[in-house]
Amino acid sequence: MSQPVSSEFTDFVSAKLELVEQELSRQAGSDTPFIDQAANHIIEAGGKRFRPLLVVLCSRFGGQVADEDLVRAAVVMELTHVASLYHDDVMDEADLRRGAESANHRYGNSVAIMVGDYLFARASETVAELGTDYVRLQARTFARLVQGQIAETRGPAEGDDPLEHYLSVVADKTGSLIAAAAVFGGMVSGASPEVLDALGRFGEEIGEVFQLSDDLIDITSTRTGKTPGTDLREGVATLPVLLLQASTDPADQELKKLLAADLSSDDALERALQGLRANHVIGEARGDIQRRADLARAHLASLPAGEHRDALAALCDEVVSRSS
């Protein structure tokens, strides 16, 4: 279990995140009013700012950090994330994001794709100010993001284990950027290579838990600010579905058939969601996610103790219990 953190520490983190927030909308801005509005659309809709939070917490493992560098590192991570969401919503044909109309729904696919590119370009300009090591990590992370998304789009090849394929997609499309956020935090504070290594392993693991939870609540929750069942409708098999597909229990066969059928109508999708919500695979997926969160927490053991480490441990609990 994690230790509670003091209100001084919480205030400190909130103050840094406030600085990030101001710079984020400035960086996403443009002299062209339409681009300014479209690029800030998803940023203004809200979001958990999970990657900036990791940058701030992980920046406590080294020495003194200039606010300017801390904010740059956090902004680069969030802009890259938001850019990927503009593209993701086009590919997933999503109409809701963060409780607001998705950019593709509002402005059309072409504009949404180009605004995603614009945000990524803005992130690239900012990361250049941090230095070559940051640019290299950012570039490698971007390659993994795209690689993961391509693997998801293509699905497992003949003979591939579907669960292994899914987990490698999750690691690449989400674990990579969250790991980079943890490492960026360490880097701006001049943390040692050993600490950076531990932060990277922690970030990768908690990032995977974050995505597994996200995929679970796509089925179980109606409070995500997204349309429930998007993965099912798009034919993306996530952990509960993969567990069901592997089940030989005769009681699961009917639901398996339902999931394999056409889910394009709202009615069929709703019946599939109801069936899954009532099935044992939801509890099994939750158990698996909990075990992985425990693994993430174990990576913290080699890091120096402190309130920032306690806050990271608390995040391991929060990503498991999240419902939005």
Q: What share of the chain is helix, strand, coil (3-state, %, to 5)?
A: 75, 0, 20
Encoded tokens for 113 = 């794709």
- Asked if residues 199 and 183 have their Cβ atoms less than 8 Å apart, the reply is yes
Counting contacts by CB under 5 A, is residue 92 touching Mg ion?
yes
Counting contacts by CB under 6 A, is residue 220 touching ligand FPP?
no
Q: How far apart are CA 96 and CA 132, in angstroms?
A: 36
Give the one entry of ligand FPP, Mg ion, none that residue 51 binds, where binding means its C-beta sits below a cut-off of 5 to 8 angstroms depending on kind: none
Counting contacts by CB under 6 A, is residue 292 touching ligand FPP?
no
Q: 215 or 307: whose CB is closer to Mg ion?
A: 215
For residue 69, how many C-alpha atoms fall within 13 Å in the half-sphere facing its CB? 15
Q: Which residue has the tokens 């729904």?
A: 105
Q: How far apart are CA 57 and CA 50, in angstroms?
A: 11
Enumerate residues 242-271 that contact ligand FPP by CB under 6 A. Answer: none
Neighbours of 163 (CB within 10 A): 15
Measured CA angle at 114 (ends 238, 88), to 5 deg? 5
For residue 10, how many C-alpha atoms fall within 13 Å in the half-sphere facing its CB? 5
Q: 77 or 191: whose CB is closer to ligand FPP?
A: 77
Counting contacts by CB under 5 A, is residue 204 touching Mg ion?
no
Enumerate residues 81-100 that contact ligand FPP by CB under 6 A. Answer: 83-84, 87-88, 92, 94
Q: Which residue among 144, 165, 226, 299 contacts ligand FPP (CB under 6 A)? A: 226
Q: Which residue among 50, 107, 118, 120 contacts ligand FPP (CB under 6 A)? A: 120
Give the one entry of ligand FPP, Mg ion, none that residue 149 binds, where binding means its C-beta sits below a cut-off of 5 to 8 angstroms depending on kind: ligand FPP
CB under 8 A, 24+ apart: contacts of 232-237: 232/259, 232/263, 232/269, 232/272, 232/273, 232/276, 233/263, 233/264, 233/269, 234/92, 234/93, 236/152, 237/162, 237/166
Stretch that binds Mg ion, among 67-75, 89-97, 109-117, 188-196 (CB under 5 A): 89-97
Counting contacts by CB under 6 A, is residue 227 touching ligand FPP?
no
Counting contacts by CB under 6 A, is residue 322 touching ligand FPP?
no
Closest distance to ligand FPP from the beta carbon of 83 (Å): 4
Q: How far apart are CA 193 and CA 177, in angstroms?
A: 19
What is the size of the binding site for Mg ion (CB under 5 A)? 2
Stretch that binds ligand FPP, among 33-41, 67-75, 78-86, 293-301 (CB under 6 A): 78-86
- Residues of the shown chain interacting with ligand FPP in the complex, contacts defined by CB under 6 A: 80, 83-84, 87-88, 92, 94, 116, 120, 145-146, 149, 173-174, 214, 218, 226
Report the interface residues with Mg ion, using CB under 5 A.
88, 92
